[in-house]
Amino acid sequence: MLVSEMKPLEEVLGYLDGEGKVFIVGCKGCAEVCQTGGEPQVLEMKQTLEQQGKTITGYTVIDFLCDKALTKLRLKAHEDEVMAADSLLVMTCGIGVQATAAVVDKVVHPACNTINLGGARGEWRGSERCRECGDCLLDMTGGICPLTACSKSLINGPCGGAKNGKCEVEPEVRDCGWHLIYERLKKLNRLDKMREVLPPKAYSKMEPPKHLRSTIMWALEQDEKEEAVR
């Protein structure tokens, strides 16, 4: 389970600045449970964006966006609508955003922040990773997470340590995350995103929120009690 919450609308509208046509992607997995990216939220977002003068070329709510193969197939069915859009707005956890970015050559914006559950993680088999940082940066980085793709979690561009596109840590197997981000932003003609100076990350947001933490603790304790009874 990955817990997401909506980003402030102004932040999402900021991402969509200058883009008239948007395709919306929701998820019937965790995002539906969190009421961030289920069908009702997708329809609500569609209405909100239309009120803001945007054209919604289409939308889809996919069963588990983290299943990249399925995501690719399901988006294929909406190919015309997806290709007609300037960008895709993905109303899910960071994995869903990165999985979408990995299968579509379009600008992908996150509509949510993924917050830390402090334990249980979602299940996915792709190379995307989400650190549940609570302040999603995927809009700035072409849908590739700098916290997980860069061995140093740098947010303002590459260090001097990459050689031939490979990271100084395990160069045989590890790509330089910022090389991937650079190539992707260049392909999408959005290198301007890389030029923005980002302030230090608020690592306090990486802690599980208090209300969630107490709920999880309660759930674990319940589980232990039940196990003891059995």
In 3D, which of 35, 103, 34 has the Cα closest to residue 65?
103
The least CB distance from residue 192 to another protein, in Å, is 10
Please give the size of the binding site for another protein, defined by CB under 8 A: 29
- Describe the chain by its helix, strand, coil percentages, rounded to 5: 40, 15, 45
**Per CB under 8 A, which region of 52-60, 117-125, 127-135, 191-199 contacts another protein?**
191-199
Helix H, strand E, coil C: the string for 20-78 is CEEEEEEECCHHHHCCCCCHHHHHHHHHHHHHCCCEEEEEEEECCCCCHHHHHHHHHCC
204 is a site residue for another protein (CB under 8 A): no
Are residues 4 and 113 in contact, defined by beta-carbon separation less than 8 angstroms? yes
x/- contact string, 149-188, with another protein (CB under 8 A)? --xxxxxxxxxxxxxx---xxx-------xx--x---x--
Q: Which is nearer to another protein, 81 or 183 (CB)?
A: 183
The least CB distance from residue 193 to another protein, in Å, is 10
Q: C-alpha angle with apex 143: 139 to 147, nearest 5 degrees?
A: 90
195 is a site residue for another protein (CB under 8 A): yes
The least CB distance from residue 203 to another protein, in Å, is 7
Q: C-alpha angle with apex 14: 57 to 178, nearest 5 degrees?
A: 95
43 is a site residue for another protein (CB under 8 A): no
Positions in the binding site for another protein (CB under 8 A): 151-164, 168-170, 178-179, 182, 186, 191, 194-195, 197-200, 203
